[in-house]
Structure 1
Amino acid sequence: MESETNKRTKTLVQIALLVAVMIVLNFTNLGLIPIPFSPLKVTTLHIPVIIGACLLGPKIGGILGFLFGLLSFINNSFVAPIVTSFVFTPLYSLGDYHGNFGSLIICFVPRILVGVFAGLIFQWMASKKCRTYLSGFVAGLVGSMTNTILVMGGIALFFGSEYASAKSSTLLAVIGTAVGVNGVPEAIVAAILTAAIVTPLLKILKRG
C-alpha cells in the first residue's frame, strides 16, 4: 500500500504542475486560441482548473479556481488592464467606470466554482460507472459554462449599465455575444481537451 506521505507528495507535485501550466498560459498567448475566420479568441485558462478538479477532486479544483481568479485580478489590476477591467478589480477605474466589492465577487467566486462544479460532476459520473472520457467531457462543459454564465451574470447584476456603456452596446447584446460567440466555443474546447487529457492521465496515475 502506498503511504500517506507518498500520496501527499504526488498530490502536491500534481498541483504544482497545474499551477505552473496556469501561470504559463496566463502570461503568454497560449492562454488564448483564435477562432478560425473570426477576430475573437477563446480562453483556455480555466482548463487546468477543470483538469485538476477531475484528477484531484472539487476541493483542489476550488483552490486552483481561486488561483485562476487571482491571476485575472493581477492582469486587470496591474499587467494589462482594459476599459472593462473595472468589473474584475476595485483597484482599476477609467473615467466614470469604477470597480468595487462586486468586482472581487465576479473575479473570484465564478472561478472557484468552476473547479468545485467540475470536480463534483466528474466524481458523480464516475460513481455511476460512466466512461472516463465522457465524465471528462461533461466536466469540461460544466466547468467552462459555469465560468461564462456566472461571470456574465455577476457583471449584469453589479455593473450592467456601466459594462454595456463601456462596450458601446446594449447589455443584452453584450451578454448574448459573450455566451453565444465566446462561451460556446470555450465550452467545446474545454470539454474536448479535458476528456483527451484526463483519460490517459488517470490511467498513468493509477499505475503509479
Structure 2
Amino acid sequence: MNKKKKDTRWLASVALMMAIVILLANTPFGMIQLPVIKATTVHIPVILGAILLGPLAGSILGATFGICSMISNTVAPTLLSFAFSPFMSMTGLVGVVKALWISVGCRSMIGLITGWLWIFFKKVNLNGLIALPVTGFIGSMVNTVFVMGSIYLLFASQYADAKNVGIDAVWGLIMVTVTASGIPEAIVAAILVALIGKVMQRLVN
C-alpha cells in the first residue's frame, strides 16, 4: 500500500472513530449502569483508536471526547460544569484555560499515553491477551486521574463551594470519586477493550 492510500485509510479510520466517540457522548450508550454508579464508555473508542491507529489518532479522538464534554457542560450545566466549560468560568481568563485543559487536554492525554503504552507493549512482545486489558484499564485510569487530579489542583476552592464542604475535605471527595467511579470504569474498559480490540485487530490486519 503506497503512502497516499495509507494516509487516506488512516484519515478515514480516524473519522469513523470520531463518529463513534460523538455518538457515545450524545446517547445513553455512553454510560453503563453499574450497581452503584454509571460508568462512562466514551473513552473506550479513544483507547481502541490509540491502539489501532497510534498516539496521534488517540489524541485527536481524546480531544473529540473532550469537546463533546465541554459542549455538554455548556448546554446542560451541572454543579461542576465550571471545571469543564470555559463558558462557565468563574475566574476569568485563567478559569477558561483551566477548563479547556480539564475538558480537552486531559482527554487528549488518554489517547497519547495509551498509544505510547501500546507501542511499548509491542516492543517488549507482551501477549495481546494481557496487553489489551492492561491498556484498557490504564487508559481509563488516565482519564479519571488526570481529570480529578486537575480539578483538585486547579479548582479545589470552587469544588469545595460547589459541594458545600470545607477545602480540607476536597481531597477525600476526589479519592472517593476515583475509587467508586474510576476503578469500576477501568474494569469495564479493560474487559471491553480486550474483547473489541481483539476483533478489530483481526479486521485491520
Q: Does 1:62 align with 2:59?
A: yes
How far apart are the structure 1 equivalents of 2:188 and 2:103? 22
Q: 1:41 aligns to what?
A: 38
Q: 2:113 aligns to what?
A: 117
Check whether the contact 2:83–2:99 (CA below 8 A) recurs between aligned residues: yes
What's the secondary structure of 2:42's corresponding residue? coil
Q: 1:19 aligns to what?
A: 18
User: What is the Cα deviation at residue 197 of structure 1?
Assistant: 1.1
Structure 1 vs Structure 2: percent identity of aligned residues? 40
What's the TM-score, normalizing by structure 1?
0.90
Q: What letter matches 2:14 in structure 1?
A: I
Unaligned runs of at least 5 residues, structure 2: none
Check whether the contact 1:50–1:114 (CA below 8 A) recurs between aligned residues: yes
Q: Deviations over 1:64-87 (max 9, x none)?
A: 111111111111112x21111001
Aligned 1:128-207 pairs, distance under 5 A: 128-169=124-165, 170-206=169-205
What's the secondary structure of 1:100's corresponding residue? helix
Moved more, 81-90 or 127-136: 127-136
How far apart are the structure 2 equivalents of 1:29 and 1:167? 26
How far apart are the structure 1 equivalents of 2:191 and 2:38? 17
Check whether the contact 2:152–2:171 (CA below 8 A) recurs between aligned residues: no
User: What is the Cα deviation at residue 201 of structure 1?
Assistant: 1.2
Q: 1:88 aligns to what?
A: 84
What's the TM-score, normalizing by structure 2?
0.91
What's the secondary structure of 2:39's corresponding residue? strand
Q: What letter matches 1:193 in structure 2?
A: L
Aligned 1:69-80 pairs, distance under 5 A: 69-78=66-75, 80=76
Instruction: Give the paired residue count.
Output: 200
Q: 1:6 aligns to what?
A: 5
Q: Decide which structure has greater helix share.
A: 2
Q: Deviations over 1:54-113 (max 9, x none)?
A: 0011111111111111111111112x21111001122115xx787432111111221111
User: What is the Cα deviation at residue 164 of structure 1?
Assistant: 2.4
Q: What letter matches 2:148 in structure 1?
A: M
What's the secondary structure of 1:91's corresponding residue? helix
What's the secondary structure of 2:125's corresponding residue? coil
Check whether the contact 2:55–2:115 (CA below 8 A) recurs between aligned residues: yes
User: What is the Cα deviation at residue 30 of structure 1?
Assistant: 0.8
How far apart are the structure 2 equivalents of 1:132 and 1:6? 28
